[in-house]
A = this chain, B = another copy of it.
Amino acid sequence: MNNPELNNPIRNNVEVNGNVGQVSGMEVPRFGGHSTFARLPRIEDVSKYDVAILGAPFDAGVSYRPGARFGPAHVRQASRLLRPYNPAQDVSPFAKLQVVDAGDAIMNPFNIQEALVGLEKHSAILIEKGKPLFTIGGDHTIALALLRSLNKVYGQIALVHFDAHLDTWDTYMNASYTHGTPFRRAWEEKLLIQDKCMHVGIRGPLYDKTDLVNDKKFGFGIVSSTDFNNQSLDEIISKVKSRVGDAPVYISIDIDVLDPGFAPGTGTPEMGGLSSRELLAIVRGLKDTHLVGADVVEVAPAYDHAEITGIAASHLIYEMISIVASKN
């Protein structure tokens, strides 16, 4: 490039331990510069990485309010507020690990199955050799593609699924692959370890009582949202941890696990969800598990206000990267 001074895409990023971190908030105001996740380098801008963050801009699988296709751009913009040191876990994740923004997977908005293949391929490249991947949805359909690519590295895995909904339905208007069905498909495809999966935060009306019966058959345990009324956070953390044990764990967070008051920007909100502090506590409580990847899905920016849903989503990803960093 003909302007040597401006030629280096990571010229303003802080480097610690050989890891290229965020653009310095002390030199470049956080509202300035490109909108990569947490102002981290793009994957193309560094020579190696330990952890990748991928966007999955897709919402053709939603049954009610669409818009999660804009989730990755929105969460990246909201992630400008993240700073390098996480006191809650006492770790500086971007100093411990080379974390990169891997951009967005190409997902065909007009063909759900082709879109899933696109994401599966893209994520498979990023996680080869066991690198953790954190994906920003998109709707919950994307989890299936991610579980498929993880399966090739880890075999069956344990799932900790934060959501208002079970997402183990069979079909919806004859469609097998929607945001209500990823974990039914995953179970059928034997991607999950039987009896090591757990839903957290379930609530709201169902289509039928057999939804619960089926779900149990697929090997899921449930911590419902109302369980938070009379169980302590420590009890719930223990319950989740004892279920997943030392299996490789994938965390899938549908942002609608939060109450609509904390996360209005989503597609199928249900009254009576978790508070943001409860959710943070449970996620942080999983820090000794064998976390191999995660997603945060269903952020629908057109329904968000003051970016509060996007800020929550970006912070959750940050905490989960911190879990990985704490162990390295």
Contacts and interface: CB of A to CB of B under 8 A. Distances in A.
A18 to B, nearest CB: 15
Nearest to A266: B306
A72 B264 contact: no
A226 to B, nearest CB: 7
Interface string A306-321: 1110011001101000
A25 B211 CA distance: 14
B103 A33 contact: yes
A153 interface: no
Given A25-B207, A260-B308, A261-B308, A66 B57 contact: no
Contacts of A32: 55, 57, 69, 72, 104-107
A85 B125 contact: no
A67 B5 CA distance: 29
B277 A228 contact: yes
Nearest to A260: B308
A46 to B, nearest CB: 7
Contact of A275 (B64, B126, B275): B275
Interface in A41-61: 42-49, 55, 57, 59-61
A272 B280 contact: yes
A303 B92 CA distance: 30
A137 interface: no
Interface string A1-33: 111011111001000000000000111111111
The A interface is mostly helix, strand or loop, or mixed, namely: loop
Interface string A167-184: 000001111001000000
Contacts of A44: 1, 6-9, 45
Contacts of A65: 31, 67, 70, 302
A2 B207 contact: no
A229 B225 contact: no
A88 B125 contact: no
Contacts of A30: 63-64
Interface of A: 1-3, 5-9, 12, 25-36, 42-49, 55, 57, 59-67, 69-70, 72-73, 76-77, 80-88, 90, 92, 102-112, 122, 125-126, 128, 172-175, 178, 203-209, 211-212, 225-226, 228-230, 232-234, 259-265, 268-273, 275-277, 280-281, 302-308, 311-312, 315-316, 318
8 contacts: A1-B49, A5-B125, A6-B43, A35-B76, A84-B205, A87-B206, A110-B173, A303-B306
